[in-house]
Structure 1
Amino acid sequence: MEKYHLYLDETERRVIILCLNDFRNKLIAEGRYTDCVDELIIKFAHAKTVKLKIRR
């Protein structure tokens, strides 16, 4: 299984969580399962943050 690393700032992270939550609400309204989306929300919410130095 390949692992991927995403480097997001706080705003991008917040937008992803909000979009996943909107998608979860849509699935609930349709009566579908939300297990996978729930796991992604938890992973993004609890992901560790890393400070990076950017050289220009």
Structure 2
Amino acid sequence: MREKTNHLNVDSQERSLLLHSLVELKNQLIQQGRYTDCVDELIFKVINAPTKRMKIEYI
């Protein structure tokens, strides 16, 4: 069976907020002595995600 994929559309400000939050979570996990593998994978995926230009029209 194929793995289900989800797509998330965010702008540059939301992307930077997402990265900042993930880094803060990673720092908290390091302080607690827990594994950070899952958070590392998410950070890697967000950084390397392709960007798509979208045209937004306001009425």
TM-score for both structures, normalised by structure 2: 0.87
- 1:3 aligns with 5
Larger radius of gyration: 2
Instruction: Give unpaired runs (5+ residues) of structure 1.
Output: none
Q: CA deviation at 1:55?
A: 4.5
Aligned twin of 2:31: 29
Q: In the alignment, what sits opposite 2:20?
A: 18
Q: Give the whole-Å Cα distance in 2 for the aligned partners of 1:15 and 1:52.
A: 20
Specify the code of the residue in structure 2 equivalent to 1:39. E
Q: Does residue 47 of structure 2 align to residue 45 of structure 1?
A: yes
Distance 2:28 2:56 in 1: 38
| Structure with a larger share of its residues in helix | 1
Structure 2 gaps of 5+ residues are: none
Task: Report the identity percentage.
Answer: 45
Aligned pairs, how many?
A: 56
Give the AA of the match of 2:40.
D
- Root-mean-square deviation over aligned CA pairs: 1.0
Deviation at 1:52, TM superposition (A): 1.3
